[in-house]
Amino acid sequence: NAGVTQTPKFQVLKTGQSMTLQCAQDMNHNSMYWYRQDPGMGLRLIYYSASEGTTDKGEVPNGYNVSRLNKREFSLRLESAAPSQTSVYFCASLSGTSRGEKLFFGSGTQLSVL
Amino acid sequence: AQSVAQPEDQVNVAEGNPLTVKCTYSVSGNPYLFWYVQYPNRGLQFLLKYITGDNLVKGSYGFEAEFNKSQTSFHLKKPSALVSDSALYFCAVRPPDGSGNTGKLIFGQGTTLQVKP
């Protein structure tokens, strides 16, 4: 049981380049999330998908797009990368309902934009 | 604005001593509160949560946390620290906004716990 799998683990981009971060979960969870982690700022929600076919903005959506390809996969796209997007990106999926919920995280993608 | 604060960037404790990692929150209503741990080069892992009921909740790896509504705090504790507990700890809150989306957590900035032998 792999849990939440993210690719790639590391990426270096030049300003203006585009890329897609891939995420897949094998736990049959309905909801999936993309967070970014920056030093001293904790994790901030970029986008989320409450269920297959739906996506919504989180706290910091500017410069990103997402696709919920199917129940398993939720990708994050940077159309024109900027240095401010240098960060560690985590995908997560949610198990359970309100009383039993918890997030399962992938191992992260470290992105540097030069 | 809703927020979570972890006032200490780093906590240092000797192995075998008790540890406390502090967390305060500012959320209207009765929030759901969580602690997650991040080991180096890994994603976050769930430790424990408070929904309702007993103010002292127990979680993984011997950790526990005490909910204090009057002080709006949810401090993480462990009676006897281990070197292997050294990691980055995040407090998080889910506001009771009734939206039904339970993964929209607000995270604190994280506290690095260093346990020395």
| Rg (alpha carbons) of chain A, rounded to whole number | 13
Higher pLDDT, residue B10 or B94: B10
pLDDT score for B5:
95
> How do beta strands B73-78 and B87-94 pair?
unpaired
Q: How far is CA A72 from CA A23, A49, B47, in A?
A: 8, 11, 24
pLDDT score for A100:
63
pLDDT score for B30:
78
Evaluated on CA atoms B81, B84, B87, B89, the torsion sign reads negative
Beta-ladder partners of B81: none
Evaluated on CA atoms B52, B54, B55, B57, the torsion sign reads negative
CA atoms of A55 and A38, how far apart (whole Å):
23
- Mutate one of B9, B24, B101 to test the A interface: name it (highest A CB count within 10 A): B101
pLDDT score for B3:
87
Instruction: Determine, for residues B103 and A106 on separate chains, whether the beta-carbon distance falls below 8 Å.
Output: no
pLDDT score for A98:
59
- With a cut of 80, say whether residue B102 has pLDDT above it: no
| pLDDT tens by residue, B51-71 | 888 899 999 999 999 999 999
Chain B CA closest to residue A32: B103
Instruction: Determine, for residues B109 and A107 on separate chains, whether the beta-carbon distance falls below 8 Å.
Output: no
| pLDDT tens by residue, A61-105 | 999 999 998 999 999 999 999 999 999 999 999 887 656 678 999
In chain B, what's the furthest Cα-to-Cα distance? Answer: 46
CA atoms of A91 and B83, how far apart (whole Å):
28
Q: Stretch B15-23: mean pLDDT, rounded?
A: 97
How far A31 CA lies from chain B's nearest CA (Å)? 8
- With a cut of 70, say whether residue B101 has pLDDT above it: no
| pLDDT tens by residue, A14-70 | 999 999 999 999 999 999 999 999 988 889 999 999 889 899 999 899 999 999 989
CA atoms of A26 and A71, how far apart (whole Å):
9
Query: Lowest mean pLDDT: which of A49-53, A109-113, B79-83?
Result: A49-53
Extract the runs of DSSP E, i.e. beta strands, from chain A. Answer: 4-7, 10-13, 19-25, 31-38, 42-49, 56-57, 64-68, 74-78, 87-95, 102-105, 109-113
Q: How many C-beta neighbours within 10 Å does residue A82 have?
A: 13
Q: Stretch B104-114: mean pLDDT, rounded?
A: 92
CA atoms of B8 and B80, how far apart (whole Å):
20
Q: Stretch B35-42: mean pLDDT, rounded?
A: 91
pLDDT score for B32:
87
Instruction: Determine, for residues B101 and A43 on separate chains, whether the beta-carbon distance falls below 8 Å.
Output: no
What token pair was written down for A72?
A: 């398993």
